[in-house]
Structure 1
C-alpha cells in the first residue's frame, strides 16, 4: 500500500491526472456552491410563503445554508467528491495503467460515459443512504467524543474501499463480457487492504484542502493495488 501511495503521489504531475484533478475539484466546488445557493433561496422562499418577516427569513435561510455546509463537510462532500471522481475515474485509471501496467492498458475496454456516471451516482447514493442509516448511532455516540467519528470512518471506509475497487474493475469487466479470448480478470484487493485504503481515503476527505486531491490519489492507489507486483506482472517505474 505504501508503494501504491508513493507511485500515486509521484504521478500527480501527469497531464492526464492533473486534468482530472482540476475538473473534479471545479465540478465538486460548483455542485456545493449550487446546493448552498439553492438551500438559501429555497428556505427564503418557503419562509416568505408562511409570512415570516424579511430579517428572520434571511437569518433562517443563512442558518440552513450553514447546516448544509456542515453536513456537506461530514457526509455530502465524500459522496459528491466520489461521485465526481467516479465519473472521471476512467481517465485516472487509464493514466496509471498506461504508465505502469501497459499490458493491462492494452486489453482494457473503457466503460461508456453513461456507465461511469452510474458508478459515480451509485457510490454517492450508497454513501448518503448508509450514513443516514447510521445517523442514530452517530448521535448516540456523540457523548463519547471519539465513538461517533470512529464509527463514521469505519462505515465510510468500507464503502469507499469497495467503490474505489469498482472504478478500476469497470475497465476490465467490459473486456470479460465482449472479448473473444478472455484475458485473466484483474485481481481484486483483499478485504483488509481494501478497507485500509477506504479508511485512509475517508480520513483524508475530512481534511480541508487535502480532501480535494484525496479521491484522485485514492483511485490511482486502487489501480496499483489491483495490478501491482503481487500478481507477478511486470511493473514499470
Structure 2
C-alpha cells in the first residue's frame, strides 16, 4: 500500500514533465474525441429511429426534444460506464512515451535496457486490455443491477472491478518494455490492486478523471521499476 501511494505521488509529480504533458494532452484530446463522435452517432441513430417509429404520434418539434433528451441521458450513462475502458485503450497507444519519459528521468539505466514496443504489439495489448475490461464489467453488470437500490453499491462494484483491471494494465505498460528481464509482471498483486484502486478513485472525480490514466501510467512505471529492482537485489534511484 505504501509503495503504491508513493508511486502515485511521483506520478502526479510527472505532470510537470513536458514530455508527459504532451502525452497527456494527446490522450485527453483523443479520448474526448471518441466520446464526442460516439455522442454524434448516438444522436443520429436515435433521430432516425424516433423519426421512423414515432413520426405519426409525435409532431416534429417533440421528436427533436425527445431525441435530444434521450441522447444526452444515454451519453452521460455511457460516459460514466465506459470512460475507464476508452481512456485506458487510448492511453495504450501513448503509454510507451510516458514510460520512456519516467524511466529517462528517474531510472536512466533501466531506460537504456528497455525495448520499446512496436505499434502492432501496442495495438494487440490495447485490444486485449479492452476485451478484459469489457468482459469483467459485463460479468459485474448483474451485481450492479441488484445493488442499484443501495445507490452506493454500483459505484463500489465498479471501483473494485476497475481497481483490478487498472492495476494490471498500468504496470504491464512498464513491465512489457523489460519483458526480457522478467517473465511475468513483477509487481505484487496487492500493490497492483492498491495502485488500481487509487487511479479508479481518481477517475470518479470530474476533471481529475481526464488525467488519472496518465498519472496512473507514470505511477505504474515507478512501481514496476521498484519491483524489478527488488527482484534484482538493488534499490531504484528516487532522483
Match of residue 39 from structure 1: 42
- Please name the residue that 1:27 is paired with: 30
- 1:56 Cα deviation after fit: 3.8
1:179 alignment counterpart: none
**2:208 paired residue among 207, 210, 215:** 210
C-alpha change, 1:206 and 1:226, in structure 2 (3 Å) is same
Structure 2 counterpart SS, 1:42: helix
User: Which residue matches 1:13?
Assistant: 16
Give the drift of 1:99. 0.9
**What stretches of structure 1 move > 3 A for 4+ residues in a row?**
183-187
Higher relative contact order (CA 8 A, sep 6+): 2
Question: What TM-score do you get using the length of structure 2 for normalisation?
Answer: 0.88
Pairing partner for 2:223 from 222, 225, 233: 225
Aligned residues: 229
Report the 3-state secondary structure (helix = DSSP H, G, I; strand = E; otherwise coil) of the residue aligned with 1:110: coil
Deviation at 1:23, TM superposition (A): 0.1
Deviation at 1:122, TM superposition (A): 2.5
Q: TM-score, normalised by structure 1?
A: 0.88
The equivalent residue for 1:143 is 149
Residue number in structure 2 paired with 1:180 = none
Matching residue of 1:99: 105
Q: Structure 2: where are the runs of 5+ without partners? A: none
Task: Measure how far apart 1:86 and its partner are.
Answer: 1.2
CA distance, structure 2, for counterparts of residue 145 and residue 40 of structure 1: 28
Task: Give the equivalent residue in structure 1 for 2:162.
Answer: 156
**Alpha-carbon deviation of 1:101?**
1.0
More displaced stretch, 206-215 vs 45-54: 45-54
